[in-house]
Amino acid sequence: MRAVVSAPRTAAEIGREWAEDLLPPGQALRGPNVRALMMALAGPREQLEGDIAALCSEICPASATSLLDDYRRLLGPDPVGRDTGILSDDEWRSVLQQRWT
């Protein structure tokens, strides 16, 4: 069960949107220096949006990959004993999701 997440915006898209939305009309502030500044500021924003998009699939144990161990630690041992033995990641996701919900 994977969440459908739209692709994060690129730095070029972010810079273009900022230029259109934030700069006043006219050519005075649309030169290469301001464009370079917008792109420099858009790079970290692109990284942030990418990180947020990657975490969207980690919101619950059923779809978690990088946070799966954290869910194991958070939920602790299964009181019913379904987590004994060697389980695959998919089996862990199933057990942890049942306990999570």
Do residues 43 and 85 share a domain?
A: no
- What's the domain range around 80? 60-101
Residue 53 token pair: 């998009």
If asked whether residues 50 and 78 sit together in one domain, one would say no
Q: Which residue, among 73, 99, 90, 88, has the nearest Cα to 1 in the 3D structure? A: 90
* Whether residue 4 is found in the same domain as residue 24: yes
pLDDT single digits (tens) 18-28: 988 988 888 88
Rounded to 10°, the helix 89-100/68-75 angle is 50
Please give the share of the chain, as a percent, with pLDDT higher than 70. 94
Nearest to 50 by CA among 101, 1, 5: 5
**Looking at the predicted structure, is the pLDDT value of residue 38 above 70?**
yes
Whether residue 74 sits in one domain with residue 34: no
Average pLDDT of the chain is 88
> ∠ at Cα 62 (58, 63), nearest 5°?
40
> Does pTM top 0.75 for this prediction?
no
Give the contacts of 5 (CB within 8 A, at least 6 positions apart): 53, 56, 57
Instruction: Based on the fold, state whether residues 68 and 36 are members of the same structural domain.
Output: no
One domain for residues 86 and 98: yes
Residue 5: predicted pLDDT: 54
